[in-house]
A and B are shown apart, each in its own frame.
Chain A
Amino acid sequence: MTTTDSERSWQPSASLDVMQRRAKLLYDIREFFQARDVLEVDTPVLSRAANTDANIDSLQLTEQQQDWYLHTSPEFPMKRLLASGSGDIYQVCKVFRQGEQGQLHNPEFTMLEWYRCGYSLQDLMDEVAELITQLADKDVLLDAALQLSYQDAFQTYLKIDPFESDTEQLRACATSADIADAATLQLNKDGWLDLLLSMLIVPQFPENKLVLLHHYPASQAALASLDANDPRSALRFELFINGVEIANGYDELSDADELQKRFEQDNAHRENQEKAIMPIDYALLEAQQAGLPQCAGVAMGLDRLLLLLSGATELSEVLAFDASRA
């Protein structure tokens, strides 16, 4: 960035109207969860352990000769609370991700994350739809949710099977859709799936409708459990509204050994990409060893939700001060 301090505006990037809408949104969220007996919790923003996900980079700082990481979501400590017997919990907090800045990205953003014990993935998707419908109020007309499996979405919109296709078939699909540089980009299979999904499928989703895309490929399970009926897919969903990704949910993986394996795989991916290896959260592994109740959890980007509810097109319009003014 070449913007100098003197060029930077002191004024907020969001209007007062939008800030009032944000306050109402937070109030309504708390009311929603209070009515459902879900406990609000507050976990540390700074952690000695970090997210190992190869596509999510943590901001790091040093204090008392110790490396600390700003959390990229409150998932790990919230799961430790669940293992300790907290029951259903939710949290609203700021999370941080390095290198994410754009029309729909800001390095710090507000996340709502909640966990429901005994819920299936379907139960949680239903609750997400109920919450959004309630929060949207009369601001936006949202049609009933469309539920679509990852495989069906690829077959419907691109006539290609995401599980059975290889990287060259996925590349050919991108090339025939005139994605610039598709012929030369070097991507692994998940990279191609991400490209096709975000550039060609999501933009075709119906407007003003909640789209719940579920059963992501097992290679993109993150911390979701795999589908026992079809281990090629994971019990993971994402919510999209008008082409914007709003939430990401899992039927939570409870097996501690499998969790450790995924952390180690993540770090191996990081090493391949010449990214720093992240310290694994052993406290979480111990908590899961002790026992995580069967649960489903979801993280939702509240700034993006506010963007949709207030008719904004850029995240800066819903942040009091976006990163360029921070």
Chain B
Amino acid sequence: MATYNTNEFRSGLKLLIDGDPYIIVENEFVKPGKGQAFNRVKIRNLKSGRVIDRTYKSGESVEAADVMDHDLQYLYNDGEFWYFMDPDSFEQIGASEAAVGDTIKWLKEQDMYTVLLWNGDPITVTPPNFTVLKVTDTDPGVRGDTSGGGGKPATLETGAVVRVPLFIDIDEMIKVDTRTGEYVGRAKEE
């Protein structure tokens, strides 16, 4: 069982606390010159995303969580699991609905995603910051309208709905920021 001493604490370190994997978001070393030292940390639960505070006596050890990011390719969904493949080993792994979470609306077959594995099981799936997707449904385009205001909802091939400018038509490829769910621009044909 790997452990981390509090003096190894830094942002990004992954800990196992009360059976759940957490990541250190912020670590503050507090020590009066002649007194007891503490580490006050903010940690994020990697499953729920919830951020909590913890206080440790410096020098204590905390169990390390065996979690690692992997870049995997999304293959398909069988109704229960979403399958991803390691492009080097061709090994496949199924992620549950809970692990896929909100990323479900950005999942496109063949695209690469960051899958966080904990003890070999996917716990979160993160899309790339920017992705290019096809518009499958939106109101007819209004040609000549180049004003910035307004906009309209457009449904994308993965099911995500984003606001796009009025001139965007069905079947166009658009670039979207997955972190904000915002339209970035028309994608150039490649």
Contact = CB atoms under 8 A, between A and B. Distances in A.
Contacts of B28: 102-103
Contacts of A180: 40, 52-55
A101 B5 CA distance: 13
A157 to B, nearest CB: 16
Given A182-B55, A187-B57, A101 B36 contact: no
Interface residues of B, number: 24
A149 to B, nearest CB: 17
Contacts of B27: 102
Contacts of B55: 179-182, 185, 195
A191 B59 CA distance: 14
A238 B32 CA distance: 10
A199 B35 contact: no
Nearest to B38: A195
B53 A55 contact: no
B33 interface: yes
B58 A99 contact: yes
B184 interface: no
A194 B36 contact: yes
A245 B32 contact: yes
24 contacts: A1-B10, A53-B34, A99-B59, A100-B29, A102-B28, A102-B29, A102-B30, A103-B29, A104-B29, A180-B52, A180-B55, A181-B54, A191-B35, A191-B36, A194-B36, A195-B38, A198-B32, A198-B35, A199-B38, A222-B34, A238-B32, A238-B33, A248-B34, A301-B33
Interface in A261-319: 301
A147 B33 CA distance: 19
Contacts of B58: 99
Interface residues of A, number: 32
Contact of B30 (A55, A198, A220, A248): A198
A99 to B, nearest CB: 5
A263 to B, nearest CB: 15
B129 interface: no
A173 to B, nearest CB: 14
A268 to B, nearest CB: 17
B182 to A, nearest CB: 33
B163 interface: no
Contacts of B57: 185-187, 191
A197 interface: yes
B32, B33, B56 — most chain A CB neighbours (10 Å) = B33
A132 interface: no
